[in-house]
Amino acid sequence: MGITSLPSSIVTSLMPPEVMKQNREDVIAKEIGHGRVLTLNRPDHLNSISEKMVLMLGQKFEKYEKDENVEFVIVKGAGRTFSAGGELKRLYDGRNTRDSCLEFGYRLYWFCYQLQTYKKPHIVLAHGMSMGGGVGLMAPMKFSVVTERTFCSIPEANLGYHPDCGLSYILPRLPGRLGANLKGKEVVAAGLATHFVPSQKLFQLEKSLLSINNGEEDTIRSVIDEFSTNVQIDERSVLSKLSIIDDCFSRETVEEILDSFETEACKKGNDWIMPVLKSIKKASPIGLKITLRSIREGRTQTLSECLRKEFRITMNTLRTIISDDLYEGIRAAIIDKDKSPKWNPSTLDKVHDEQLDLIFKPFEEHDLELQIPINEEEYCRWEGKYESSSYCL
């Protein structure tokens, strides 16, 4: 099975997540046997993705893919959270400076492509909360392990934003049209993770993985299977309502989706729909329409096309070319915390296709697009970095 015992020096290096916060690096890298462990290390900020974090992740993943001594990579979060996604306050603080977050966005989406096309097995131990971009980092891993304390949410529309980090490619390819918050085993059942492991076994699982002396996927899967439990969804879970959810979300427009949920909510036994309706109605109208269009387009787009599209949407959103809803959403959620955003446009009927076209429109110069390698050959696989982009040059 390809497993060896771990030296005591290695065992002591597997620090509990809470200890990591004493180290100021945004990402802590450890080399243990044939494995490499990357820990997102911003527990006081819910491991939100910073510019430094995404730069370090890109550098480490490239180094490990090229290193013949590395067989697999493990990613986890320090503290009680895997990752709460992008660093919202950083976006808000840069609102008055054009393209203050351009480098961050470019590096993030470029790394997401490398993550989804990685040549070696990667494993995520996603204990705790994963939101937005955190889900985008978790879901593409070859092996995604969650626990009973895992909570996944994609709240971008509530902030006047859109599902990014490759989620416009990932979400349309999941079974069903689910957009709800998910917990524990629901994350596996929904297709966003591969294994459910009780949290008390997570440390031992990591220890066992790091004793493997090869990177064969069957070997890794066998080790994780020893610790994982079968997933059975409770009838009270939102996943048991997929037929209704799929029917409602199959409608052509956001307005029709809302009307469909309103109709279903009037039927006996459908009280669970009210929180769904409340969440949709509170969200940014333009965020909802951008999200629906992006995910619908993602059904027929390649990963590269989705990431280029997401980069455009993000840059045009940050530039407020039609609305400042993202900044207003962040203000209401985490700055003033009044939970009362003033959306502009204020209602769905005031959001027009011509406005959305401006958000989705390709840049006038191709060099300004996200430069993702077209050729997957080893010699050019890691091309297109920010340093060689038109923005930097």
Residues carrying an active site annotation:
86, 133, 156, 164
Residue showing tokens 């893919």: 65
The secondary structure of 244-284, three-state, reads HHHHHHCCCCHHHHHHHHHHHHCCCCCCCHHHHHHHHHHCC
DSSP 3: B
For residue 195, give the nearest of 238, 144, 266 by alpha carbon.
144
Give bridge partners of residue 3 from the DSSP assignment.
Answer: 212
Q: What one-character DSSP code corresponds to residue 130? A: E
Q: Which amino acid is at 334?
A: I
CA distance 392 to 104: 12
Question: CA-CA distance, 101 to 94, in Å (whole number)?
Answer: 7
The three-state secondary structure class of 129 is strand
End-to-end C-alpha distance for the chain, whole angstroms: 49
Burial class (CB in 10 A: 0-12, 13-18, 19+), 236: exposed
- Find tokens 């961050």 and name the residue: 104
CB 178 within 8 A of CB 135: no
d(CA 281, CA 158): 9
- Cα-to-chain-centroid distance, residue 137: 5
Query: How many degrees, rounded to 5, is the angle at CA 219 between CA 215 and CA 221?
Result: 105
Determine the Cα–Cα distance for residues 339 and 329; give it in Å rounded to an integer. 8
119 vs 110: CA distance, rounded Å? 16
SS3 286: helix
For the chain, the 3-state helix, strand and coil shares in percent, each to the nearest 5, are: 45, 10, 40
Instruction: Give yes or no for a cis peptide into 121 (omega within 30° of 0).
Output: no
